[in-house]
Amino acid sequence: MASEQKNKKTALVTGGLGFIGSHIVDALINRGTQVYVLDNLSNGKLQNVKQWKENSLFHFIKEDLLNTPNSFPRLSFDTIFHLAANPEVRVSATHPEIHFKQNVLATFNLLEYIRETQQNPTFIFASTSAVYGEPLIIPTPEFYAPLKPISIYAATKLACEALIIAYAHNYGFKAVIYRLANIIGPRSNHGVIYDFIKKLQKNPTELEILGDGTQTKSYLYVEDCVSGLLFGVDKTKNHSEIYNVGSEDQINVKTIGQTVIEEMGLKNTKTKLTGGVEGGRGWKGDVKVMLLDINKIKSIGWKPQMNSHQAVRQTTKDLIQNST
């Protein structure tokens, strides 16, 4: 039995009690991986992993990545999934230091932990499509340049990418970076669909939509996201690699609003467009049009099962069900 435990793959999932992180935990434990979740409980919920509480493959470490690496447990991991971050893009407009600390500093501390413990894991990082800023090529491929992010959130994610690649090169571990479209699905506690449902629960007669309603982006269901992340890790042979992960279609925010209204069974609900800022954006720093070119990850055998429209409708059903 001791030998069997020793031979199991081990994974660390930072932010593993959060939205995407908890779904990663599900997939890894279903694969028979020993999973260590590191989370400071600021955004994550133990409720998201309650099904694994008594499972011998699940281990929870309450820790904050803003603490010094010396305080982290001295364990060795085959893979590290770095999902811990502040996901709320709008926060960066008023409190940029939050994204700097929780994204850049936290990532630096985690990389220092790897260096100091002389580990050789595969390091998986959840980046964002927002690092491209407002690209001139849509769908946007991984090799697009120059990268000009327009939000502090996106800038910190790009800084993290650079740190990870440099550390991987200098200290001999493999890094796989995923630039994600808008990931949606059960357990999410922020984002446009979540916000619309909350607004309509308070006032079912009117839905306020930030911006001019034409903001058009790609959305990916969380199960597709997790399958893409795991698929890329399994297939990647290079020292460091970057993949776009998203769907191949787009949906605008006004259509999302109508979908939420339909799924909530509301009648005669009016939509109110705020007009937005800087040409109809929902907020300053909001990328108005986004669609990723996913041919690179498709070329190694992965593709999403749902398109944006299907993902939005299914997520709406998930969140309505979970909010009642």
Structure tokens at 311: 């993902």
Task: Kindly report the CATH number that applies to the domain delimited by 2-183+220-245.
Answer: 3.40.50.720
CA distance 207 to 252: 15
What are the residue ranges spanned by the domains of the chain?
A: 2-183+220-245, 185-218+249-289+306-323
Arithmetic mean of pLDDT over the chain: 94
Quick: pLDDT tens for 189-243: 999 999 999 999 999 999 999 999 999 999 999 999 999 999 999 888 888 999 9
User: What letter does residue 143 receive in the DSSP assignment?
Assistant: T
For residue range 257-305, what is the model confidence (pLDDT) as tens digits?
Answer: 999 999 999 999 999 999 999 999 998 899 999 999 999 999 999 999 9
- Amino acid residing at 161: E
Return the CATH architecture of domain 185-218+249-289+306-323: Alpha-Beta Complex (3.90)
Query: What average pLDDT does range 136-142 have in this prediction?
Result: 98
The answer for residues whose C-beta is within 8 angstroms of residue 232's C-beta and 6 or more apart is 176, 178, 241, 243, 245, 297, 300, 302
Confidence grade of residue 71 (pLDDT, cut at 50, 70, 90): confident
pTM: 0.94
Report whether 37 contacts 60 (CB < 8 A). Answer: yes
Helical H segments across 86-242, by residue range: 91-94, 96-99, 106-117, 152-171, 192-202, 222-235
Q: How confident is the model at residue 2 (pLDDT cuts 50, 70, 90)?
A: very low
Dihedral angle of Cα 81, 126, 61, 80, to the nearest 10 degrees? 20
Per the CB < 8 A criterion, the answer to whether 171 and 239 are in contact is no
- Judge whether residue 6 has pLDDT over 70: no
CB 104: neighbour CB atoms within 10 A?
Answer: 19
Which residues face 11 on adjacent strands? 35, 79
Average pLDDT score over residue span 70-91: 87
Cα–Cα distance, 318 to 322 (Å, whole number): 6
The residue with tokens 């690496």 is 69
